[in-house]
Structure 1
Amino acid sequence: MSREAEAPPSFWLDALRAAGTDDLRPRAPLTRNATFDVCIVGGGLTGLWTAYYLAKADPSLRIAVLEKHIAGYGASGRNGGWCSALFPTSTAALERSHGRDAALAMRRAMNDTVGEVARVTEAEGIDCDFVQGGTVAFARNAPQLAAAQADVAAAAEYGVDELELWSAEHVEGRFGARGTGRERPLGAAFDPACARLQPAKLVRGLARLVESLGVTIFERTEVTNWFSKRVRFRSALPDGGSVDGAVSATTIVIAVEGYGAALPRVGRHVLPLYSLMIATEPLSDDVWREIGIQHGETFTDYRHLVIYGQRTADNRLAFGGRGARYHWGSAIREEYDRDPRVFGHLQRTLVDLFPAATDAAITHQWGGPLGVSRDWRATASYNPKTGVALAGGYVGDGLSTTNLAGRTLSALIRDEQGPLTELPWVNHRSPQWEPEPLRFVGSNLGLLATGLSDAEESLTRRPSLAAKLMGPLTGH
């Protein structure tokens, strides 16, 4: 049995195997030169959504997906399970660079995407525990409350997102949440445009769906380089050997997100930023009554060092956050997926937020890299001259954005002009990250500054100056 089948890289994938619904055995690799109309590099949500919309629009297309491990091995099978309208670039930043109409169009597209994922999964029979209950963002000190108030005010001004500001009394009456140092919560912002789902069920179900539409998925097939209309690969054979080959295709779609940093033609165009998660054992009804989070609700707070969580369908707390350092040369290794220091921080943070979870056993710990562009802006791009399309740079907001990317790339590849192809992220080109050692020093100093900003605000009860200076560097 393959290594992937023996050691799922996340709770989500492990849950499928434990339930007996998916043994995670890799599909057959590509072992010879081949020709397709479309060759998609990467078997995550970006690649699979693109394959889905292309195959639905034109069933005659010969589409292949090449994946180094198994479908959903990367961020698509490891994330926090938020199908949200979040986008890594703020509406204000989009308005400054593209104008108000374009910024609002992007916000409408992201809100519509939550509904589109719901529509497709229901229509196509993908049971991924999709329940839209919204996101509760707790304000745990005065600067966080000010940030929540600013978000709600901005949403009201733009008139697209329907954020609500909840009072301290409402939060305290509904949730067993505490503030930093277990202080009384000061309020929360509620965004209804988010659903809880099981990401491995989504990506693995989507893989089976596109196969039923005639798409061929080759796993254990590592792409080593690509050029206009040609992809080079190296496939792992069952006997431990390997075979090299090439795929000729009219269109090539690059959908590798943070893992692209290891590819020569991506390199410094993306920085792999690690985000880690923990999951508890299933909690009792009494504990959940005290915590207050309902099925379908996701939760976070307004700290600068991002955290995110959900109540799973089987009543666990799945909780994640940033804090893992950037590794020299954008290195991506399996041992980086697990950092005891960060896991300990996540457990302490979860218990500080929800004291009712103090005695909950942690059953799973995992992580992985997400993709960050230099200007923190995602893109969906296509060059008709070379036939190369790409999407990524989601900065952790990719679960739903990948669906928008798939629809957009499908339209661009088929030269179908319309609202999707006019969105401000289409054909956006970000600058490259700095070479080492500047990239290493800058990234880790930024991480340190983010943590210090939270400590500063907790201590002073005033907005952090460091966080304000970092805002323009993170898409705000």
Structure 2
Amino acid sequence: MSFWLDDLVERGIDELRPREALSANARFDVALVGGGLTALWTAYELSRADPSLSIAVLERDIAGFGASGRNGGWCSALFPKSAGALERGHGFDAAVAMRRAMVDTVDEVGRVTAREGIDCDFERGGTLVFARDEVQRGSARADVAEAARFGVDRLEYRDERAVGATSGATALDGGPPAAVFDPACARVHPAKLVRGLARVVEARGVSIFERTEVLDWSAGRVRFRTVDGNDADGTIVARHVIVATEGYGPRLPRVRRRILPLYSLMIATEPLPDSVWDEIGIAHGQTFSDYRHLLIYGQRTADNRFAFGGRGANYHWGSAVDPAFERVDQVFEHLHTALRDLFPAVGEARVTHRWGGPLGVARDWCATASYNPKTGVGFAGGYVGDGLSTTNLAGRTMTDLVLGVDSELTRLPWANHRSPLWEPEPLRYVGANLGILGMTVADAEERLTGRPSLIARATARLTGH
């Protein structure tokens, strides 16, 4: 399991015992496919907007089994498609509205968790993105200037002197790095969040059926089977069917090429003494990353561990999803090395947990919350790893779409957005893995040439930038 889910069991917070499966035909107003944050936030918002609705959540394993219970714990304002790309496609005002919605969502998650008594270690400490050589410092300054142009994000550039006075992070060219500080991010314990939210929606009358695998759906119907040993199957009749399966979606024939499952892996260290954290310079509530192209991300957990992850695992033929893909020793070693390289004070701290899983990537790297009122079918996802907070926005947006409410949320550029399909194999396999390799090569290219990577520039439009 992820550190997060394991921690719930170790602390006696949650035994992770599966809820009862759905074992007979049933009728609901709303059927939500998937038991992660997207489905649970949608169930929460729908149940508040119209308490008379009967709502069912269908999950193959347990609520929070997927990315919602194993991510990096960033409740951030990040959206997979950049503001510049949104501006090119939808105009300046739409890009500003999307940025404002994402920044507001960070605070909304904090408000709801406080109101509902969900103890998920929510602490809004912002995020530091280190710029570790001159090329990265140029990227950092450009990001701050771009944010100022849209006037929403309050990014702050911190030079080497400022970072060196407070942080033990290292630069690639000697001395301390520079950094960009973004206040719109909170540290959370993702498993506490998703499991706590599941309990809240259950208390509101939402039915959560675990060990219930959805096989297919159509307008007004969801076909399922149980995986609890009884092997029963049946059909739910529902006015509204919302699909929220993210990286596991390609298992379903109607998703298949709509989402590409890309694996992201993580490690967690043993708890570190406060004296070490004082040297490292990452405060409680802060998350961190840097400006390399092959993404890394991390946080200081509430119990003083590093939870640290990144990309680098290969895409698998035919959008295959398999537990065997969650453990790649080469990637785990890369992550451990990258962590010690960035923060030498980590020293020989023991890695206690290693885990991973798929996240969902749309072909144009643009997440969506979409709903067709003619069929009653909705789809939300494609977060590319930026879903912990975006799922909350999805739940609120989907609620307005389902109920036919014309609102600021339903007019956002991601609402009812339809991404193109991914290419068929072998093009998908070759392209996805070349993209992963390209980011590794781009980092090496910049270190060698001291100039922005031509490879990264060539692929930027393919990754939502």
Would you say 1:205 and 2:196 are equivalent positions?
A: yes
Pick aligned residue for 2:283 from 294, 300, 311: 294
Would you say 1:216 and 2:211 are equivalent positions?
A: no
Pick aligned residue for 2:295 from 306, 325, 329: 306
1:448 match: 437
Unaligned runs of 5+ in 2: none
1:129 match: 121
1:358: how far off? 1.8
Distance 1:388 1:421 in 2: 16
Aligned positions of 1:113-262 closer than 5 A:
113-180=105-172, 183-237=174-228, 240-262=229-251
1:184: how far off? 2.0
Distance 1:285 1:409 in 2: 43
1:172: how far off? 1.1
Tell me the secondary structure at the aligned position of residue 335 of structure 1. Answer: helix
Q: Could you list the per-position Cα deviations for residues 126-154 of structure 1 after superposition, in whole angstroms to 9, with x for gaps in the alignment?
A: 00000000000000111111110000011
Q: Is the 8 A contact 2:168 2:176 kept in 1?
A: no
Tell me how large the CA RMSD over aligned residues is: 0.7
Give 4+ residue runs of structure 1 displaced > 4 Å after superposition: none
Would you say 1:409 and 2:398 are equivalent positions?
A: yes
1:90 match: 82
Distance 1:137 1:314 in 2: 22
Q: Could you list the per-position Cα deviations for residues 276-304 of structure 1 after superposition, in whole angstroms to 9, with x for gaps in the alignment?
A: 00000000111111101000000000000
1:109 match: 101
Q: Is the 8 A contact 1:141 1:185 kept in 2?
A: no
Distance 1:385 1:418 in 2: 19
1:185: how far off? 3.1
1:461: how far off? 1.4
Aligned positions of 1:7-22 closer than 5 A:
9-22=1-14
Q: Is the 8 A contact 2:371 2:401 kept in 1?
A: yes
Distance 2:36 2:156 in 1: 33
Pick aligned residue for 2:258 from 269, 281, 291: 269
Pick aligned residue for 2:388 from 399, 402, 406: 399
Distance 2:56 2:177 in 1: 51
Tell me the secondary structure at the aligned position of residue 313 of structure 1. Answer: coil
Q: Is the 8 A contact 1:129 1:196 kept in 2?
A: yes
Tell me the secondary structure at the aligned position of residue 422 of structure 1. Answer: coil
How many positions carry a matched residue from both structures? 465
Taking structure 2 as the reference length, the TM-score comes to: 0.99
Pick aligned residue for 2:322 from 333, 343, 358: 333
Q: Could you list the per-position Cα deviations for residues 396-429 of structure 1 after superposition, in whole angstroms to 9, with x for gaps in the alignment?
A: 1000000000000001000111100000001111
1:433: how far off? 0.6
Aligned positions of 1:36-115 closer than 5 A:
36-115=28-107
Instruction: Give the aligned residue type for 2:300.
Output: R
Tell me the secondary structure at the aligned position of residue 472 of structure 1. Answer: helix
Instruction: Give the aligned residue type for 1:227.
Output: S
Tell me the secondary structure at the aligned position of residue 421 of structure 1. Answer: coil
Q: How many percent of aligned residue pairs carry the same amino acid?
A: 66
Q: Could you list the per-position Cα deviations for residues 302-348 of structure 1 after superposition, in whole angstroms to 9, with x for gaps in the alignment?
A: 00000000000000000000000000111000011111000000000
Tell me the secondary structure at the aligned position of residue 406 of structure 2. Answer: coil
1:4 match: none
Taking structure 1 as the reference length, the TM-score comes to: 0.97
Tell me the secondary structure at the aligned position of residue 232 of structure 2. Answer: strand
Q: Is the 8 A contact 1:374 1:430 kept in 2?
A: yes
1:5 match: none
Q: Could you list the per-position Cα deviations for residues 207-243 of structure 1 after superposition, in whole angstroms to 9, with x for gaps in the alignment?
A: 0000000000000000000000000001023xx3411
Distance 1:198 1:81 in 2: 6
Distance 1:330 1:140 in 2: 34
1:158: how far off? 1.1
Instruction: Give the aligned residue type for 1:353.
Output: L
